[in-house]
């Protein structure tokens, strides 16, 4: 957990932001959640946080590159720590009906092929890519296809 806090502190300092107690609590909550959380999930885990403070601090953490927002079809965002903080690269399966978000990891050879294809597309457009995210939208096993 100390490495996570060190990276969060560094990223916030690079944006001239402080690593306050509330921001630290949000990072700890997301680090131990095991899955992306909604604001309600964050507040359930940390009842000492005010809703307005959670929204405001998540926005700062997102801007600093500590937190990633995943928007589902219901316009309810879920939050998780970024790859830069966790060191874990993954993508998401997003249910367009209920908003469930599941992590997925692609095989290394698929990631390598994806990197090569994305690098080629970026190069052709004189674009400098930094990282990629893939969200596969569909229906989870509990939501029937209509």
C-alpha distance from residue 47 to each of 2, 11, 28, 63 (Å):
23, 26, 14, 24
Tens of pLDDT, residue by residue over 67-122, are 999 988 666 789 999 999 999 999 999 998 888 899 999 999 999 999 999 999 99
Tens of pLDDT, residue by residue over 39-70, are 999 999 998 999 999 999 999 999 999 999 99
Domains and CATH numbers, the chain: 1-88 (1.10.10.10), 90-146 (3.30.1490.190)
């Amino acid at each position: 957990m100390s490495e996570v806090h060190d990276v969060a502190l560094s990223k916030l300092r690079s944006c001239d932001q402080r690593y306050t107690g509330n921001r630290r609590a949000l990072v700890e909550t997301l680090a131990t959640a095991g899955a992306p959380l909604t604001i309600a999930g964050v507040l359930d885990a940390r009842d000492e946080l005010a809703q307005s403070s959670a929204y405001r601090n998540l926005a700062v953490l997102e801007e600093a590159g500590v937190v990633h927002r995943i928007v589902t079809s219901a316009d309810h965002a879920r939050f998780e720590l970024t790859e830069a903080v966790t060191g874990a690269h993954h993508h998401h399966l997003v249910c367009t009906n209920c908003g469930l978000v599941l992590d997925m990891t692609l095989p290394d050879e698929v990631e390598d092929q994806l990197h090569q294809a994305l690098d080629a597309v970026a190069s052709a457009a004189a674009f400098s890519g930094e990282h990629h995210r893939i969200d596969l939208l569909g229906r989870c096993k509990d939501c029937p296809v209509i």
